[in-house]
Structure 1
Amino acid sequence: MFTGIVEETGEIVDVHDGPEGRRIRVAASFCEDLEHGQSIAVSGACLTVEDWNADDFELFCSEETLERTYLDEVEVGDAVNLERALPADGRFDGHFVQGHVDGVGEVTEIEQVGDDWYFGFSLPEELARYVVEKGSICVDGISLTVADLRDDDGDFVVAIIPATYDLTTLSGKAVGDPVHLEVDVVAKYVERLTEGYV
């Protein structure tokens, strides 16, 4: 379980593609605190620590993960958002995030308004029913609130405060770049529970 509150950005320092999947090494400041088997959200995708040292850690991306994310496209030098799993006694500051990427969207617009930023993202048709204005959505591991839902265009807009812009990979995004999307799991459970009643 995660909250969508990014701890820091890490840097991809090694990528190895093999017949079973892809191994990625990520440099981060908290590596000395890691343990084997810990879960880390890497730009919103929940992955498992397999190896680590004082400077970086290694993750394995299965074919399933690569098919559902854009992690098959990351390269050495790329930045990724990082969040370790929420401890049982930790603060819950974002929203329920599982680290299960539902789909990949694209940045459709970026606009700075004063100190804030407005980002537009495309929304895959199969996810649109789970997204509502003022509802929660996770974009590249960041817990965000939908400011505007544009059904005609098939995209949505979020407002980004300076702290979020500076502390995440959003500051390096450009129009056309891919992003991981995870919709609010509560919406999916409600849909499942109410099937047959409508």
Structure 2
Amino acid sequence: MFTGLIEHTAPVLEINRQSELTSLKIQNTHFKNLIQGESIAVNGVCLTVTNFTNDTFEVDIVNETMNVTNFNQLQPNQSVNLERALRLDQRLGGHLVGGHVEGTGQIITSSIDGDALVLEITVPDMLMKYMVHKGSVTIDGISLTIFEVDYERCRITLNIIPETQRQTNLSNRIVDDNVNIESDMIVRHVAHLMSFKQAGGTHV
């Protein structure tokens, strides 16, 4: 479980693509006392640390994850957002994030409004019912508030404050880039329970 508050960004040093598995080696100058097997969200995807040194760590990605995320477009030296798993004794500053990306969206427009970076992003049709005005969404692992929702065109608009621009890789994103999307798990689970009830289900 994560909060969507990015702790830092780091470049991908190596990408080893094989038929069944892709391995990433990522620079690490921030996380101390890493443990093999712990979870780290990389661009919002919950991955397991398989190996580490004093200044790097490695993760493996299965093909299913490659297919539903933007990792298939990842290049060496590209910066990724990183967050270690949530501890039960820390504040939940963002919202509950599972690290299970449901699909990708494309940046349609990028503009500046005062100090804010304004992004318009497409959302897969199957996820639009979970997009709520002033609700939460996770983009590349970042907990963000939805500023506008366009249900007809399957798009959302996000206003990115300067602090988020500094702490994440969103300031490096350009039009046509694909981003990972995870809907708000609470909205998603409530919608699932409601649809189950409407279908006549009795066991939850």
Task: Compute the TM-score of the two structures, normalised by the length of structure 1.
Answer: 0.97
- The C-alpha deviation readout for 1:114-137, integer Å capped at 9, x for no partner, is 111111110110100111100100
What is the SS of the residue equivalent to 2:70?
Answer: coil
1:60-86 Cα distance to aligned partner (Å, 9 max, x none): 001111111111221111000000001
Q: Is the 8 A contact 2:50 2:58 kept in 1?
A: yes
Q: Contact 1:25–1:59 at 8 Å: present in 2 too? A: yes
Runs ≥4 residues deviating over 3 A: none
Q: Is the 8 A contact 1:123 1:155 kept in 2?
A: yes
Determine the structure 1 residue equivalent to 2:202: none
Distance 1:142 1:148 in 2: 17
What's 1:120 paired with? 120
Look up the match of 2:138. Answer: 138
Q: CA deviation at 1:197?
A: 2.5
Tell me the matched-pair count.
198
Distance 2:138 2:172 in 1: 17
2:198 is matched with which residue?
A: 197
Alignment check: 8 A CA contact 1:105 1:178 kept = yes
Contact preservation (8 Å) 2:8, 2:30: no
Note the C-alpha offset of 1:31. 4.4
Contact between 1:9 and 1:168, CA under 8 Å: does it hold in 2? Answer: yes
Preserved CA contact (<8 Å) 1:36 1:49: yes
Equivalent position SS for 2:112? strand
Q: Counterparts of 2:83 and 2:109 in 1: how far apart (Å)?
A: 26
2:69 equivalent to 1:69 = yes
Identity %: 35
Alignment match, 2:180: 180
Moved more, 97-106 or 14-23: 14-23
| 1:108 aligned partner | 108
- TM-score scaled by length of structure 2: 0.94
Corresponding residue for 1:19? 19
Aligned residues: CA RMSD = 1.1
CA distance in 1, matches of 2:69, 2:169: 16
Maintained 8 Å contact 1:31/1:52: no
Structure 2 portions without partners, runs of 5+: 200-204
Name the SS of the counterpart of 1:93 in structure 2. Answer: coil
1:60 corresponds in structure 2 to 60
**Structure 1: gaps of 5 or more residues:** none
Aligned partners of 1:150 and 1:72: how far apart in 2?
28
Checking the alignment, whether the CA contact within 8 Å between 2:81 and 2:141 is kept in structure 1 is yes
